[in-house]
Copies of this chain bind each other. A is one copy, B any other.
Amino acid sequence: MSRTRVHNLMVSSDGFAAGGHVTLEQPIGGAEAIFRWFDGRVIHGVHGIDEPVTVDRAMFSMWGQGIGAEIMGRRKYGPQQGESPDDGWQGWWGDAPPFLTPVFILTHHPRPSIEFENGTSFHFVDASPEEALRLAQDAAGGADVRIGGGPSTVRQFLQADLVDFLHLVIVPIVLGSGVRIWDDLPGLQERFDVESVSTSSGVTHQLWNRKR
């Protein structure tokens, strides 16, 4: 049974999981500090366990395990709005995006798919969460589907009760503004069992498993 999973969604103490204004210089819209807590890099994908092996990295390494497709929002794909300009933009990730699977990008302005040699492909769909999930599950061939973010997209899938597993990383910083993860989800905990663990880096990992 294919699960729908969210991994490594970093959330500030005040509940923001991205900044408000994505630009070419600010891929997380001004909330880059959430990621830089760790090692200064914005983490786009995680394959295997880096050295040294920390509890944080062990948790992050679940990201790619058993995943057959991803769904992401338009703002994760790029800073453009409206019609796709004919500017050769292929996402932030260069010639070898780290996804290694089909990726379905939710947009009101579809454009032709893009295929990469490493198994990643981008497909642009104007679809509801349910429709997008069906497409992604078909492409995943029985493996799990990852909802890749940003936070607005994750929240849509949570509201539609389509998420089986949610891994949040609560980072002890105060952003003050941005895209909230918790809005319009009152009582979310009633649908999930939650396990938390805090690590020596200061973050708290929360694993939300949908109740059966």
Residues of A within 8 A of B (CB): 3, 5, 48-49, 51-55, 58-59, 61-62, 65-66, 164-165, 167, 193, 195, 197-200, 205, 207, 209
Contacts and interface: CB of A to CB of B under 8 A. Distances in A.
23 contacts: A5-B53, A49-B65, A51-B164, A51-B209, A53-B165, A53-B167, A53-B207, A53-B209, A54-B195, A54-B207, A54-B209, A55-B59, A55-B207, A58-B58, A58-B59, A58-B61, A58-B62, A58-B207, A195-B199, A195-B200, A197-B198, A197-B199, A197-B200
Contacts of A66: 48-49
Closest 5 CB pairs of A and B: A52-B209, A48-B66, A55-B197, A48-B65, A53-B165
A133 B199 CA distance: 32
A55 B58 CA distance: 9
A193 B55 contact: no
